[in-house]
Amino acid sequence: MQHAVGVLESGLCRYVLISYGHNALSGDSMRRMLMELSGDDAVFGHFGATGGYALAARRAMHEFGTGPETWKKIAVGQRKWANLNPAAMMFGKPMTEADYDKARWVVEPLRLPDNCLITDGGRAIIVTSLERARDLKQPPAVIMGMGQDHPSTAVAQSDWMAGPTGARKAGETALAMAGIRLDEVDACEIYDCFTYTVEITLQDYGFFKPGEGRDWLQGGTIEPGGSMPVNTSGGQLSEAYFMGLTPIAEGAMQIMGRCGKRQLGPETRTKSPEIIMISDNGGILESHSCILLRRW
């Protein structure tokens, strides 16, 4: 997104298309991907993102006392949103905390519902100037702030996997650019490759202090009817995985008011969204990007 804005601002382009597509579920690329991305870690049987985030999540358990009791609130909360979204892969498949507790380990301490989905499909967005947006069909989801931070260290060598991650600086940068405080944010669309990613991102953004996520999540904070809705399509855990375009597209659609039964506002007993905070991650917490979208 910052890239798109850069080329628009430089005058190189007027309308930028950003696209993603992958036949990840039905195709044969996933296993090869695991091997290609694992490098020599594969020598020790360490593969892919689940293992990497499991290392980070375990260190976080040790440093600030998080764990499955926190993560299941995220998994269950997002599943409730997915059940308001007919396009979500987990639509019609409700999940209770007891279901979470019974789910099998993938790479401990992460269970199956801590992992994002593997999806066939694609997603794309168009970015242009607000000036040009006035003549177009949809109400614009205006980019209010952006920030990135790239710690750029493999998880095995990182000593900040329990935070602060790149989300801290990226979030502060985006809020400063927008000229707003965190408490002016109405909802979040957080890159949720794993439940722990959601916790550490919200924590580093400043929604709660280290280890206080479990209390903050009590009482359905992020769910329909909650005070800070998170991942309102079901997210990558329960809707579909399209890299950063899962959260960005949902944030834009919520701002545009086009989300049907899951629309923030009276429909879901939540605040009508004026400002939504959106995140994207690269690698295993190596790279972070934050965007603030607003209604116009």
| Subset of 195-234 contacting another protein (CB under 8 A) | none
Distance CA 229, CA 149 (A): 24
Instruction: Identify the residue among 68, 77, 140, 163 touching another protein (CB under 8 A).
Output: 140
> According to CB under 8 A, which residues from 161 to 190 bind another protein?
161, 173, 176-179
HSE toward the beta carbon, residue 21, CA cutoff 13 A? 4
Task: Report which residue type is found at 87.
Answer: A
Part in contact with another protein (CB under 8 A); list of ranges 5-13, 76-84, 198-206, 217-225? 5-13
Distance CA 240, CA 189 (A): 13
Strand order in the sheet with 275-282: 187-189, 275-282, 287-294
- Does residue number 160 form part of the binding site for another protein (CB under 8 A)? no
**Could you say which of 53, 100, 191, 205 is catalytic?**
191
The distance of closest approach from Cβ of residue 183 to another protein in the complex, given in angstroms and rounded to an integer, is 19
Task: Report which residue type is found at 285.
Answer: L
The distance of closest approach from Cβ of residue 79 to another protein in the complex, given in angstroms and rounded to an integer, is 15
> What is Dmax (Cα atoms) for the chain?
56
Cis peptide before 210 (omega within 30 of 0): no
Count the residues of the shown chain that bind another protein, applying the rule CB under 8 A. 114
Part in contact with another protein (CB under 8 A); list of ranges 6-14, 69-77, 181-189, 203-211? 6-14
Residue 15: active-site member: no
> According to CB under 8 A, which residues from 15 to 54 bind another protein?
15-36, 39-48, 50-51, 54
Question: Beta 110-111 vs 15-23: how paired, if at all?
Answer: unpaired
For the annotated catalytic residues, the residue numbers are: 191, 241
